[in-house]
Amino acid sequence: MDETLTSVIRERYQRVLDQISEAIARCGRKAGTVRLVVVSKTQPLDVVRAAIAAGVAILGENYAEEAVAKIAALTGTAVEWHMIGHVQSRKADLVAEHFSMLHSLDSVKLAGRLDHFCEEYGRSLPVLLEVNVSGEQSKFGFPAWDETHWLNLKPVLEQIIAFSHLSVRGLMTMPPIFDNPEKSRPYFQRLHRLQILLRELFPQIEWTELSMGTSSDFIIAIEEGATYLRVGQAILGPRKV
C-alpha cells in the first residue's frame, strides 16, 4: 500500500467532505442528506485501493467490465460500487450482479434486461433514471430539455416502474461543461422541477434522490437539491486514459 498516495487522497477527500458540509449548512439542509460518490473510472487499481484505505465509502464507475475487474480484485472491502456511466444492454448482467446502485438507467430495453438478471440473482437493484435536461446530442438519457413535453415521458416511465426487481429512487443528469459553475444552476433547477412533477404523477415512488454535480459544480448542485454528488478528479487526481 502506498501510504503517501493514501494520505494525499485522504486529505483531498476530507476537504471535499468539509465543503459539502459547509454548503449543506448554508442551505439549511440536514446533515447527511448528500452522499459523495468518488468517481474512479479509468483510475488504476493502486489509486482505487488507496482511496478505500483513505475512507472513501462509495466508488462510481463508468465502464462495467473495467469496474468488475476492480471489484474482483478488491473483494472483502466495505466500499459500495455505483454504476454511473452509460450501460449497453448486453452488459446488464454485470450491473445486476455487481453494483449497489445504477445512476444511469436510460431505456426500457435496459430496464427489462436488468430486471431479468436481477430476478436470476435474487435481488432488487436501486436505480436512478438518467434524463437529458440540456438537449445535447452527446448526452444519454430520457429527453427532458423541453418542459412542455414532460408528460410524454409518462408511458415510458410507467413501463420501467412496473419492473418488480428494479427500485426507482430518483433522477440523474449531466449538464453541459462550463468554466463558470453558476451556469450549471438552471439545469439542476430543471431536474428538481422534473422531480416535483414525477412525484405528482407517480406518488407510489418516493423520488428522493437527485444525482447531479461533479468536481466543478457540486456546490451549486447541493444548493439545488442534489443528494448524490459524483466527484472524481478533485479527490483522486487526473484520470488515467
100-121 pLDDT tens trace: 999 999 999 999 999 999 999 9
Within 10 angstroms of residue 58's Cβ, the number of other Cβ atoms is 19
- What mean pLDDT comes out for the span 225-229? 98
Contacts of 113 (CB under 8 A, 6+ apart): 89, 92, 93
Does residue 1 surpass a pLDDT of 70? no
Output the pLDDT for position 234. 94
Q: Which of 165, 166, 151, 164 is nearest to 202 (CA)?
A: 151
Does residue 158 surpass a pLDDT of 80? yes
Does residue 207 surpass a pLDDT of 90? yes
Query: What is the chain written as a DSSP string?
Result: --HHHHHHHHHHHHHHHHHHHHHHHHHTPPTTS-EEEEE-TT--HHHHHHHHHTT--EEEES-HHHHHHHHHHTTT---EEEE-S---GGGHHHHHHH-SEEEEE--HHHHHHHHHHHHHHT--EEEEEEEESS--TT--SEE-S-GGGGGGGHHHHHHHHT-TTEEEEEEE--PPP-SSGGGGHHHHHHHHHHHHHHHHH-TTS---EEE---TTTHHHHHHTT-SEEEE-HHHH-SPP-
Going by pLDDT thresholds of 50, 70 and 90, the confidence category of residue 144 is very high
Single pTM value for the model: 0.96
Does residue 239 surpass a pLDDT of 80? no
The span from the CA of 202 to the CA of 79, in Å, is: 32
CATH architecture for residues 3-236: Alpha-Beta Barrel (3.20)
What proportion of the chain, given as a percentage, has pLDDT over 70? 99
Output the pLDDT for position 16. 97
Report yes or no: 205 and 168 within 8 Å, Cβ to Cβ: yes
Q: Where are the domains of the chain?
A: 3-236
* Bridge partners, residue 230, by sequence: 37
Output the pLDDT for position 2. 75
- What mean pLDDT comes out for the span 160-167? 98
Does residue 236 surpass a pLDDT of 80? yes
CA 53 to chain centre: 22
CA 84 to chain centre: 5
Output the pLDDT for position 3. 84
Output the pLDDT for position 241. 59
Does residue 93 surpass a pLDDT of 70? yes
Contacts of 17 (CB under 8 A, 6+ apart): 36
Output the pLDDT for position 213. 96
